[in-house]
Amino acid sequence: MEAISSSCRLRVASGIGYNSFRTCNIKKSCTNFKYQPKHLNFHIQNVYRPFVPFPSCNLKYDVNGAQASNKFPTYRIQGSTTVVESALKAMDILLKFSRPYAVMATVLSVFSTSFLAVERLSDLSSLFFIKILQAIFAGIFMQMYVCGFNEICDIEIDKINKPYLPLASGELSMNTAIIVTSLSAIMSLLIVWISGSWPLFCGLFFWFLIGTAYSANVLPLLRWKRFPYTAVLYMINSRALAVPFGYYAHVQNAIHEGVINLSTRHIFSIAMLLVFSVVLILFKDIPDIKGDEMHGIKSLASQLGPELVS
What DSSP assignment string belongs to 256-282?
Answer: TTT-----HHHHHHHHHHHHHHHHHHH
pLDDT in tens, the chain (310 residues): 444 444 444 444 444 444 444 444 444 444 444 444 444 444 444 444 443 343 444 434 444 444 444 444 444 445 556 888 888 888 888 888 888 888 998 999 999 999 998 888 888 889 999 999 999 999 999 999 999 999 999 898 888 888 888 998 888 999 999 999 999 999 999 999 999 999 999 999 999 999 999 998 877 788 888 887 888 888 888 888 889 999 999 998 888 877 777 888 888 988 888 888 888 877 777 767 777 667 667 676 666 666 666 6
Residue 104: inside a domain: yes
Determine if the pTM surpasses 0.85.
Answer: no
Q: Are 234 and 214 in contact (CB under 8 A)?
A: yes
Same domain? For 225 and 122 the reply is: yes
Helix (H) or strand (E) holding 199: helix 198-215
Same domain? For 19 and 151 the reply is: no
DSSP 3-state assignment of 41?
A: strand
Same domain? For 288 and 178 the reply is: yes
Same domain? For 6 and 54 the reply is: no
Residue 250: inside a domain: yes
Containing domain of residue 72, as a range? 39-77
- The confidence score (pLDDT) of residue 134 equals 95
183: Cβ contacts below 8 Å, ≥ 6 apart: none
CATH of the domain at 281: 1.10.600
Same domain? For 27 and 46 the reply is: no
Residue 91: inside a domain: no
Same domain? For 158 and 297 the reply is: yes
Quote the number of domains for the chain.
3
The pair phi, psi for residue 203, each rounded to 5°, is -65, -45
Q: Are 180 and 173 in contact (CB under 8 A)?
A: no
CA–CA gap between residue 310 and residue 307 (Å, rounded): 5
CA–CA gap between residue 236 and residue 62 (Å, rounded): 68
Same domain? For 218 and 129 the reply is: yes
Angle, to 10 degrees, between the axis of helix 174-195 and the axis of helix 79-98? 70
- The confidence score (pLDDT) of residue 61 equals 40
Burial of 91 (0-12, 13-18, 19+ CB in 10 A): exposed
Residue 89: inside a domain: no
Residue 157: inside a domain: yes
Residue 57: inside a domain: yes
Same domain? For 133 and 22 the reply is: no
Residue 269: inside a domain: yes
Residue 50: inside a domain: yes
Q: Are 227 and 265 in contact (CB under 8 A)?
A: no
Distances (CA, A) of 21 to 7, 8, 235: 9, 9, 110
